[in-house]
Amino acid sequence: MAETAEHIVRSFEQQLNRLRGLVTDMGGMVERQVALACTAVLDRDSEAASLAIEADPQVDRLEREAEQFFISLLALRQPMAQDLRLIVAALKITGELERIGDYAKNVARRSIVLNQFTMPLSLTGLAHMSNLVQENFKAVMDALGENDTAKAEEVWRSDEAVDDIYNALFRELVTYMMEDPRNITPCTHLLFIAKNLERIGDHATNIAEMVYYAVQGEALPDGRPKGEGTASAVVRPRE
């Protein structure tokens, strides 16, 4: 009887390890997709854009595979306490990762169109924003792999800085559009790209909240820090 119980426990632990592996693999795939999309915009690299777009079906496939595995694990194992929180969090995190992949694909697609235009302004601000978003995403995936709630909370709090950069970019781009109608089309694409990056930051923050909950068993405090300004309310792309 003891051997049977030990076998069941060992088998369940193997399945939990597979769960962690699926989430980690998907996170790595999406992290590369985001990096390619940012390179596509900042370096005007159409090849990187194509690779980011081509990665999207693979991300979607991995999400479906993970979802089926997580649901079967819930049904067959009926986990309790921290194991249950881990499985539920993993299920939600894969959904967040899929959305991040979608936003990366959108950025890549717009970068291809943007390459047809001469840039009316420096992309320094956008580069700063993309670097911060990528750093936060990497940090939250590290927090997930290490069960590091301090790192998760740090990502959660850093969302305000991403919002502040986005709001500054929004004002700058609108100014360029008002000054010269020829800037309207490229600046509109840059606005959508910036908004998509801001949304990637939001989803990374959502993952941070789930990591914290899975480990601690309680939610982070309400009232996520957000940057000042109204740009988010003015531009809300749905692609």
Cβ within 8 Å of residue 77, ≥6 positions away: 12, 15, 83
Block residue for tokens 């109608």 = 181
Cβ within 8 Å of residue 112, ≥6 positions away: 40, 46, 49
Measured CA to CA, the distance from residue 228 to residue 48 in angstroms comes to 33
> What's the pLDDT tens digit per position in 67-115?
888 888 877 767 677 778 888 899 999 999 999 999 999 999 999 999 9
Among 117, 36, 196, 13, CA closest to 204 = 196
Could you tell me the fold of the domain covering 2-234? Methane Monooxygenase Hydroxylase; Chain G, domain 1 (1.20.58)
pLDDT of residue 1: 47
Block residue for tokens 């909950």 = 213
Residue scoring higher pLDDT (47 or 217): 47
Are the CB atoms for 119 and 186 separated by under 8 Å?
Answer: yes
Kindly report the pTM of this predicted structure.
Answer: 0.88
Q: How confident is the model at residue 2 (pLDDT cuts 50, 70, 90)?
A: very low
> What's the pLDDT tens digit per position in 147-191?
899 999 999 999 999 999 999 999 999 999 999 999 999 999 999
pLDDT of residue 237: 40
Measured CA to CA, the distance from residue 187 to residue 173 in angstroms comes to 6
